[in-house]
Amino acid sequence: MKVGIADTTFARVDMGRHAIDELKKHASIAIERYTVPGIKDLPVACKKLLEERGCALVIALGMPGGAEKDRMCAHEASQGLMLAQLLTNKHIIEVFVHEDEAEDDRTLAWLAERRAREHAINAVKILLAPRQLEKEAGTGQRQGFPDAGPARQ
């Protein structure tokens, strides 16, 4: 089974490397990496990984800036990732870390690594352990920051 890693040169943390490292810990999976300049280049890269390079799933990693224009770029990229999934019937796990989610570079690097790793585990579950996800349904899981947990009645 092959998993695609699509990432950018724009991001300020090598999230692709962390995702690949985590994937290899959990499963014997071949990796196909595709690095593009920015997040708006990710959707077609993901679609090519799914349709032309035999990937069963792609993890798309990006780091939008904190300005208004950057948020719009992230929105357009997300719409593209959505469409790419619906045109291929395959999952693309979007792992975006917004620069303004962290107060300083150190936290940003920590958050980006952690989110990339936790989403890599999600990717493995989608492909190989769907019943595990079903057990966690409605339990308030988060990737990066601590889990919110279930709302108790």
Please report whether residue 103 would count as binding its own copies according to CB under 8 A.
no
Nearest CB to its own copies, comparing residues 27 and 44? 44
Question: 1 to 30, contacts with its own copies by CB under 8 A?
Answer: 7-17
Residue 152 CA, distance from chain mean position? 29
User: Closest separation between CB of residue 146 and its own copies, Å?
Assistant: 13
User: Closest separation between CB of residue 30 and its own copies, Å?
Assistant: 16
User: Closest separation between CB of residue 72 and its own copies, Å?
Assistant: 6
Residue 65 three-state SS: coil
Please report whether residue 138 would count as binding its own copies according to CB under 8 A.
yes
Q: Give just the sign of the alpha carbon dihedral 106, 77, 49, 92.
A: positive
Nearest CA to 119 out of 39, 62, 49 is that of 62
Among 4, 70, 119, 120, binds its own copies (CB under 8 A): 119
Question: 42 to 101, contacts with its own copies by CB under 8 A?
Answer: 43-45, 47-48, 51-52, 63, 69, 71-73, 75-87, 89-94, 98
Q: Phi and psi for 116 in degrees, rounded to 5? A: -60, -45
DSSP string, 36-62: ESSGGGHHHHHHHHHHTS--SEEEEEE
CA distance 57 to 3: 5
User: Closest separation between CB of residue 145 and its own copies, Å?
Assistant: 11
